[in-house]
Structure 1
């Protein structure tokens, strides 16, 4: 793992001799656990947070994470939840605060030029990857799907183009072969807290120098939806295992069909078994469930059929131990 943070004065900012870190003000755009932990870091360092801009929780979304709004309320910080932060009335409300900094921590809306021009000393975003890798949406899930063994968090200056501004701090964490997206996201949250905590004194004192990204070393990735979690059983066991752990609960889970019924595969292990050229199929042997893939075999630790989670023994008791081909 590595830690990188800024060293000397940032071009265009006032010299550190006329800055008072204790009087730095900020408007914070934040959501999710990263938002909670990074807002906590700002408060611990004495940043005067004038306003928190967050999201109203979507009732159709599985809200398994902590609340930025609750943390802000605990500290008496005003909170707004605009559908579009770039609306003129919101821009003017924020402009009137004359903040030194913007900080964006897992906020889901892009900030446009009129907003980004407001903070005197820059607008910074915490992204959940080791930029320039995995710019864009859901970087933790994409990193797992692509079989990465490392990811992390990156604090960078915001521009109108997503995730391409100069890097201020970066903290890496490992991705182990069986880590789920939730487990990696928890590590990335800690990485964000460490990166921000390490660099914030230099940033507030005006000694922070950002490093330009080489965008050729990474790529942009878009968002994902439930349809992207449908398993292609012609892929290898490793590829399918990576998808399953990347979308495991609290995310929607990897989907397939068995005996014409909806099935979710929730947890797997890659085995050393070599399958014959049989079609992809599900079966139970000696009390354990397995899935034959396009190449290799997965042990299926947890699965649901028709919305109900079953053990391997329960499945065998109801349906037998013969092989059942997947319907998709």
Structure 2
């Protein structure tokens, strides 16, 4: 089997390693140049390809005629996409003899679209997973080839869930590749009318509304906790970012929603009088002690 692979991030690295282990010929890898404005906390697809002598290209647009011609000349049996960040055009997908397949970080048809792990944590889901599916004109809408589920524990952050999904992606691809190599490619229904679609998120979406119930605020923290930009709040012109927190078992009916210091502990009081016990609160990336926050808040209100 000859493959052209579009790949980025940890899922890209691990799934490329699965293809190599299963004996797939990787004729070309298309990846992204790292954005210097982005925190790069994940593994490098380009570095893996350099280690194995795999040709790499980094076009700005996967719909470019030059890339289309390059893939056409390779005449791949399959095209794979592993956490590549752009939609692939239909004329490109049509160049793969056996089909084009994407690895998506959710249990399709739920959480189609962008950053599915973050959305799943934000909505308090108890499970998610990885789905290998056929690519189509609509995002994450093609037939399902295989999927693997993982649990989301009550205190898991999106980063921790992402680690589980990387393993699920590896297992999904590993288990189904023998059938794919033999030309037996499962194609199960992917009824998008029974699922959900979500767009991308920006750091601005991490702003905390302290009037919300504590569980909702905690889910936001978990969904965007570092290495993502973090849940944040502004107090007297200073932006505070939650680094680490847990739901408190106590209630604080006499305190107004917002940041507070109680018994030398930093709390985030929520609209239902429950709170987040904040163990790491950051200002410009630097942890703040409860005493420092108390000093900043002295004589001031949220």
> TM-score, normalised on structure 2?
0.96
Q: Please name the residue that 2:25 is paired with.
A: 48
Q: Distance in 1 between matches of 2:8 and 2:32?
A: 7
1:324/1:298 CA distance change after superposition, 3 Å: farther
Q: Is the 8 A contact 1:282 1:323 kept in 2?
A: no
5 Å-filtered alignment, 1:123-272, equals: 123-272=100-249
- SS of 1:302's partner is strand
Q: Distance in 2 between matches of 1:195 and 1:275?
A: 46
Q: Distance in 2 between matches of 1:99 and 1:37?
A: 21
| Aligned-pair Cα RMSD in Å | 1.6
Q: Is the 8 A contact 2:12 2:82 kept in 1?
A: yes
Q: Please name the residue that 1:77 is paired with.
A: 54
1:60 aligns with 2:37: yes
Q: Please name the residue that 1:116 is paired with.
A: 93
In the alignment, structure 1 segments of 5+ residues that lack a partner are 1-23
Residue in structure 2 matching 1:37, options 14, 20, 32: 14
Q: Distance in 1 between matches of 2:216 and 2:59?
A: 39
1:309 aligns with 2:292: no
Residue in structure 2 matching 1:298, options 273, 276, 286: 276
- SS of 1:271's partner is strand
Shift in Å at residue 311 of structure 1? 2.7
Deviations along 1:56-101, one digit per CA (max 9) or x if unpaired, are 0011111111110111111111000000011111101110000000
In the alignment, structure 2 segments of 5+ residues that lack a partner are none
User: Which range moved further: 210-219 or 167-176?
Assistant: 210-219
User: Which range moved further: 52-61 or 302-311?
Assistant: 302-311
Q: Distance in 1 between matches of 2:293 and 2:121?
A: 29
Shift in Å at residue 313 of structure 1? 4.5
Shift in Å at residue 113 of structure 1? 1.3
Q: Distance in 2 between matches of 1:261 and 1:285?
A: 20
Higher relative contact order (CA 8 A, sep 6+): 1
1:47/1:313 CA distance change after superposition, 3 Å: same
> TM-score, normalised on structure 1?
0.88
Q: Is the 8 A contact 1:283 1:324 kept in 2?
A: no
Q: Distance in 2 between matches of 1:319 and 1:269?
A: 23
1:146/1:185 CA distance change after superposition, 3 Å: same
- SS of 1:124's partner is strand
